[in-house]
Amino acid sequence: MQSITKNKTQRFHKVLKILFLSILAFNFSCSNESIMEELEENILVKQLIIYGGNITNGGSAQLTVGVLPNNANNKAVTWSVLETSIAQVSETGLLTAISNGEVIVKVVAKDGSGVSAEKKIIIYGIAGPPVLAESITINGSNIIDGNPLQLSVTILPNETDNKAVIWSVSDESIATINDEGLLTPKENGKITVSASATDGSGTKGELEINISGIAPVYQTILEAENMLLWQRNNGGWAKEPYNDFSGYKRIQTAGEIATAHNTKDNTDTTIDNNHTVGELRVLLNSYKTTNNPNYLEAVNKALDYLFEAQYENGGWPQYYPDKSGYRHQITFNDNAMVNVMNLMWDISKGKNNTNLLDNAYIDKATTAFDKGIDVILKTQNIVKGIKTAWCAQYDEVTLLAETARSYELASNSGSESVGIVRTLMVVENPSSEIIQAVKDAVKWFEDVRLFDIATKNTGNDVVVVSSPGNIIWARFYDLETNLPFFCGRDGVKKSTLAEIEQERRTGYSWYGNWPKNLIASEYTSWKNKNGL
C-alpha cells in the first residue's frame, strides 16, 4: 500500500514539472516577441531629469540631463530658461549667471513625445549689476581669393561681463559662418555678417563683406564638350571625323583627343553637310541649358568665322579659308549656304535660342542675310530667256553655274533649289524681285516634273521602274534643254540612270520628291500671307 502511494506521488511531481516547463517556455516566447516588437518600434522619451546645482560664485554651471528609458531612440533636448534677465542657457546646457536670483531651467525632448522637465536654480555671488555690451564691432575684410576668413569682434565697454556672441549671415547660399566666426564663402556676391550679444542687451554688430575669387562650377554636356574639343582655332569645324555628327555623342578615345589637339590649326573648316552651323546650334542650346560660358564663347567664335567667310557679294564658299579645287565656289549643294542663311535669319529675329547672343550680332546677321538674298537673286539661272532655278554651286567672281565634283556638272538642281526658294519665302514684305523669283522657280518645278516612274533599290543596285501616278524630280537638269541628265565619275552626261556606273547609281541621290510640299501647300500659304 505504501509503495502504491509513493508511485502516485512521483507521477504527480512529474506532471507538475512538465507543466512548469511548458509555462516557462510559453512566457519566454512571449517575452521574445515583446522584445522584438519593442526593438522594431520608435521608442520615445518617457522621463527627463535635470542634474546640476546652484550657482554660488556668480559664474556658470554645466547642467546635464538624464533620459529614460535608456534605449530611447532620440535623446536630444532643447534647453531654455524662463528668466533670461537672471541667467541664460546654451544649447548644451551651460547656464551663465547674469544677476542674483532664481531661474527655472527647462528641457524638452526633441523626439516629439512632448516630455519635459524643469528645475529651479538659485544664483548668488554676483557683487553688482552685470556690465552689458553697448557696441559690437566685427573685424574682417572683403574676400578676394575665395578662401575662408576668420572674423573677430571688439565689444565695448571692455568691462562687459559676457562677451559671447551669436554669428549669422544674411544669405547662406553665398557664405556660411560657424560659432567661432569662421566665414566660409560658397559663391561670389555680397553678404552682411551679424554678431549678436548673448547678455540680453540686444546689442548687435554688422559688417558688409564682398566675396570674389570663387571660380563657378558649370554643368557640362558630353556632346558640347566634344564639339569644343574638335573646334578649329579659326572658329569652324571640319567634316571629319564626324561627318554625320554621331561621334560627338560618345566619350572620345585618347587617340581622338590627341588628334583633335594636334589639328587645331588646320584650315579644313567648312559649311558642307551642315557643319559649323550644326555645331554652333548645338552649343547654343547647351549654353541655354547650362549657362556654361565656354559654350557661348565657342558660338561667338563660330559666328565670327561665318561672317569672315562670306564673300562681299553675299555668297558663302563651301570651305574657308581653304579655297583649293571647287571649295572656293559659292555653294548651295546639300543646302550649305541655305543653312547659314537660316541661322542669320534666326539671329536677326532672335529665334531658336539666338536671343542669348550679344545684340551686336543682330545688325551683322541682318546685313549678311540681305547680302545673301542679293546673290541668290543674281544667280537664278535663265534657260531660253526664262528664269528657272539654281545650280548647286557658282563661281564667286562671275556668278556663273560651275562644276564641282566630276559628276556634279553645272545644271539646275531639283533638290538644292527647294531650300533656296524657302529662304526667299521667309523674307517679310518681299520685294517685287523676290516675288518674281519665287514664282519663276515654282513654275519651273511644275514644268520639269517627271510622271509615272520611281526608283527601286534592289539591294545592290538602283533602277528606274514604272509607277503609274507617281511624280518625282531629277537631281540635275540641263541648262539648255531643261531635260534631266546623269553623270558618272567620267564627267560625261548621260540621259538615263542606267548608263552610269553602278557605284554612282547607288552612291548618290539622283531622283527625289524634294519640291512636293513646296508647290503643294507652302507656295499657296506664302501667296496668301503676302496678298498675292
Q: Where do the domains of the chain lie, and which CATH numbers do they carry?
A: 47-123 (2.60.40.1080), 135-211 (2.60.40.1080), 218-377 (1.50.10.20), 379-532 (1.50.10.20)
Asked if 65 contacts 45 with a C-beta cutoff of 8 angstroms, the reply is: no
Cα gap 276→283, rounded to integer Å: 10
Asked if 63 contacts 88 with a C-beta cutoff of 8 angstroms, the reply is: no
First to last CA, the chain: 136
Cα gap 352→411, rounded to integer Å: 34
10 Å Cβ neighbour count for 487? 23
pLDDT at 416: 97
Helix (H/G/I), strand (E/B), else coil: 49: strand
Instruction: Map 193-253 to HEC letters.
Output: EEEEECCCCCCEEEEEEEECCCCCCCCCCHHHHHHHHHCCCCCCCCCCCCCCCHHHHCCCC
CA 166 from centroid of its chain's CA atoms: 39
Nearest to 423 by CA among 447, 449, 399, 390: 390
**Per-10-residue mean pLDDT, the chain, length 532:** 43 49 44 45 92 87 93 94 91 90 93 94 82 95 96 95 95 95 95 95 96 91 98 97 95 97 97 98 97 97 98 98 96 98 98 96 98 98 96 98 96 97 97 98 98 96 97 97 96 97 96 97 96 93
Nearest to 404 by CA among 333, 335, 475, 337: 333
Task: Give the position of cell 502516485.
Answer: 8
> At residue 328, what are phi and psi to the nearest 5 degrees?
-80, -15
What does each C-alpha distance from 153 to 88, 110, 170, 276, 374 come to in angstroms? 21, 33, 18, 58, 72
Dihedral in degrees, nearest 10, Cα atoms 397, 400, 405, 406: -130
pLDDT at 352: 97
Instruction: Show the CA angle centred on residue 309, arms to residues 307 and 310, nearest 5°.
Output: 70
Tens of pLDDT, residue by residue over 252-301, are 999 999 999 999 999 999 999 999 999 999 999 999 999 999 999 999 99
Helix (H/G/I), strand (E/B), else coil: 108: strand
Q: Full-prediction pTM beyond 0.75?
A: no
Dihedral in degrees, nearest 10, Cα atoms 286, 292, 298, 303: 70
Q: Name the grid cell of 340.
A: 547659314
Task: Give the position of cell 542674483.
Answer: 100
Nearest to 133 by CA among 108, 107, 162, 111: 162
pLDDT at 378: 98
Q: Name the grid cell of 365.
A: 546677321
Cα gap 270→248, rounded to integer Å: 17
Asked if 260 contacts 238 with a C-beta cutoff of 8 angstroms, the reply is: no
Dihedral in degrees, nearest 10, Cα atoms 313, 314, 316, 320: 60
What's the farthest any 2 CA atoms get from each other in the chain? 148
pLDDT at 17: 52
Residue 496 has, within 13 A of its CA and on its CB side, a CA count of 8
**Total residue length of the chain:** 532
Q: Which residues have C-beta within 8 Å of that of residue 349, sequence separation ≥ 6? A: none
pLDDT at 28: 40
Tens of pLDDT, residue by residue over 431-480, are 999 999 999 999 999 999 999 999 999 999 999 999 999 999 999 999 99
Q: Name the grid cell of 388.
A: 528657272
For residue 95, what are the β-bridge partners?
Answer: 61, 89
pLDDT at 100: 86
* Radius of gyration over every alpha carbon of the chain, rounded to an integer in angstroms: 43
10 Å Cβ neighbour count for 477? 25
Which helix (H) or strand (E) segment is 454 a member of? strand 450-457
Instruction: Show the CA angle centred on residue 178, arms to residues 172 and 180, nearest 5°.
Output: 145
Asked if 218 contacts 235 with a C-beta cutoff of 8 angstroms, the reply is: no
Which helix (H) or strand (E) segment is 457 a member of? strand 450-457
Helix (H/G/I), strand (E/B), else coil: 270: strand
Asked if 279 contacts 227 with a C-beta cutoff of 8 angstroms, the reply is: yes
